[in-house]
Structure formats: C-alpha cells, structure tokens
Amino acid sequence: MIKQLDRYDMIILMMAVALTCFGVVMVYSASSVMAAKKYHDGFYFLKRQGIYVLLGFTAMYVAMFIDYETWRRWAVPLLLVCLGLLLLVFIPGIGGTAKGASRWIRLPGFNFQPSEMAKVVLIMYMAYSLDKKQEKMKFFSTGFLPYMVLLTVLLGILLKQHDLGAAVTLWAVAFAMLFVAGARIQYFLSVVMLALPILVYVVMFEPYRLRRITAWRNPWADPTDSGFQIIQSWLAFGNGGIFGQGLGEGKQKLFYLPEAHTDFILSVVGEELGFIGVMVIAGMFFLLVQRSIRVALTSPDDFGRYLAFGIATLIGIEAFVNISVVTGLLPTKGLALPFISYGGSSLIISLFAIGILLNISSKARSGS
C-alpha cells in the first residue's frame, strides 16, 4: 500500500490528512461545553464531525483512483445538476434556513450545502471549457463573455441565498482561472468597473451586510452587537499570546465567541495554541497550496493544469479569507476554514477535491 501511494504527491496527502485530524480535535475542544448545554451530550459535534471525516476520506480515496479525465466528460452534466440543487434550497420543505440564509438542502440527519459543490463543479466546467477554447480566450465574445454570463447566474442565486462568502469565492476562483488561461487584462477591468456599483448596492441595501462593514471599520462602536464577534475573536488571540493557554483551556469558547466551532475556530486555536499554533496552521495551508500549484505546472495536459490550479486557488482563497476575517482584516462573512471548521458539506467536498489533485499528481509523476 505504501509503495502504491508513492506515485501520489505525499505532501498534499499528509497536509490534508493532518489538517483534517487536527480539525476534529479542535471541533471537540471548541464545542464540547456548548454541546453539553444545548444537546446534553458533550460529544455531539465530535461524533457528527467524525462521520463527516469518514465520508470525506472515502470521497478522497475514491477520487484518487478515478482518472481526472473522467471529469471532463461529466463537467456539463454536473454543472446542470448543481444549478438544480442550488435552486432546490428555495423550495419549502426541501430547503433549510438559518439566521435568514437559505443555503441548505435538508437530508435525513444531514444538511447539504450545494454552494460547496458548486465551487468544485465550476472549476471542473471551466477547466473543460478553457481547454477547448485555447486561442479564443483573446476574444471577448467567445473567450470571456460566456463565463461572465454563467458567473452572473451563479452569483445571483448565491446572493439570493444570502451567501455572499460563496459568491465572492466563486468570482475570485473564476477570475484567477481566466487570467492564467490568457484572458485580456482590460476585460477584467471593465467587468470590475461594472460590478462595483452592484456590489455597493448589495452591501448598502442589506442592513445586516452594512452592519458588518460598520463593525469591521470600528467594532467598538457597537461592542455588544455587530462588533461583538470580532472583539471576542481578538480577545481570544490576545489571551493566547505566543504559546497559548493549552489545548482545551480556552475561555472565549465558553459562550463568549459566537460560531467558535465553525467560522471562528481559528480564534480558538489562537487562544489555546497561541501565535505559534496559528502560524503552523497557516504554514500548512501555504505548503498545501504551493504543492497543488506545482501539480498544476507538471500536469501532462491543459485540462489537468486548469483543474489543479482551480482547486489550489479555491483552497488558498478560502483559507486566506477565513484567517483574514477572524483577525479583523476583512469584514465578517460565513466562510469555513477548509478541513478544520465543523461542517459536513465543506469538509467532504474539500477532501474530494484533494483526491482529484492527487490523481493529477499521479499522472504527472508517471508522465502519462
């Protein structure tokens, strides 16, 4: 088995497994007290995360052995399925709503978030399409406009779901892939100029988004409401110092820091393992993205290159945005820390994407 694994990029595999296992430990540390109070079971979130990890590792293992060329044939059908799933969340009785956001499809014992699937499916479709177009990328009508139409549809649905974090992530990944495919800079600038007024409208005319911007600029102006979460996050990092309070010894997770086991789990890491712990996690993400880009550069064909680059960009952007949010560099938005935050959809899809990367790495090493 070890000899069989030698054909894959072992650093990518080890980083993904290590981050996931570390995430299980931190989910339990961040959630046990809250789970005991709310569900009368301190292991409630740990047990569920354990199931998600098993499903995620299974998805990664299967994807490792599926030739990545298979996703070329399935790109369009999967995109259509994904669009259908994104629309299903609006159907009463099927879609689930939490805190004003409609992002989930209710399944027995599990809520599935189609936007997580949309991220990887969009990468598959763009890799397939960009590989076909090649020189057409220099022309606006054939090499740029069709992707803007698709992005507009996807972003419109996600904004209707009140999922600005996923919308921004899709936009950033798509633009990165178009850039490496050779789209002209002036196309990007023109779209950004057109999109800015829309972005301002989306933020200014949604009270909760405007409150997030205000809290980001000055959280102390409303320390008990809109600024509460980021202030508690800063307190967690401050309490942690260089070496941390010790695993399990954090105080901010004790009903002070909202979403301690999901979006703000890195704040718990900062309090319990200190600056050094946070830097180790950031370094692991950096190494994972760097090796993923290396896989893209050594892929035997353009489809594999675009696919690997898209996945590397997705992981890098999600990690960067989450770290920036919990440290106050960006306004608060609901975006999980890949592999570490509690949640099934994000974890399973992320590990599945790692499996695809590993398959591409095996082809690159064999030269086929």
Is 42 a member of any domain?
A: yes
Structural domain contains residue 192: yes
Residue type, 358: L
Starting at the edge strand found earlier in the chain, the sheet holding 101-107 runs 95-98, 101-107, 110-112
pLDDT digits (tens, 9 = 90+) for 66-88: 999 999 999 999 999 999 999 99
Has residue 250 got a pLDDT over 90? yes
pLDDT in tens, 1-42: 445 677 889 999 999 999 999 999 999 999 999 999 999 999
The mean pLDDT value for 215-227 works out to 86
* Side-chain half-sphere exposure of 331, counting CA atoms within 13 A: 16
- Sign of the Cα pseudo-torsion (100, 149, 71, 318, in order): negative
Non-local (6+) Cβ contacts of 2 within 8 A are none
Which residue range(s) make up the domain with 58? 7-366
pLDDT of residue 4: 65
Q: Does residue 338 fall inside a structural domain?
A: yes
Whether 289 is covered by a domain: the verdict is: yes
Whether 290 maps to a domain, the answer reads yes
**CA geometry: angle at 242 spanning 236 and 248, to 5°?**
50
Confidence of residue 98 (pLDDT cuts 50, 70, 90): low
Mean pLDDT across 44-73: 96
- Residues 299-316 have a mean pLDDT of 96
In sequence order, the 6+-apart residues with CB closer than 8 A to the CB of 148 are 191
Q: Is residue 218 part of a domain?
A: yes
Amino acid identity at 51: I
Average pLDDT of span 107-134: 91
- 1: in domain: no
* pLDDT tens by residue, 178-204: 999 988 899 999 888 888 887 777 777
Q: Is residue 129 part of a domain?
A: yes
Q: What percent of the chain has pLDDT over 90?
A: 69
Name the domain count of the chain. 1
pLDDT of amino acid 366: 66
Q: Among 168-172, 205-209, 261-265, which is the least confidently predicted range?
A: 205-209
Name the pLDDT band for 110 (thresholds 50, 70, 90). Answer: confident
The Cα–Cα gap between 302 and 311 comes to 14
**For residue 302, which of 187, 145, 177 has the smallest C-alpha distance?**
177
- The residue among 21, 12, 18, 17 whose CA lies nearest residue 50 is 21
- What is the reported pTM? 0.94
Confidence of residue 252 (pLDDT cuts 50, 70, 90): very high
**Measured CA angle at 155 (ends 343, 334), to 5 deg:** 30
Contact 102, 161 (CB under 8 A): yes
Residue-level pLDDT at 1: 47
Half-sphere exposure of 328 toward its Cβ, with a 13 Å CA cutoff?
18
Model pLDDT, residue 355:
97
Q: Output the average pLDDT for the chain.
A: 91
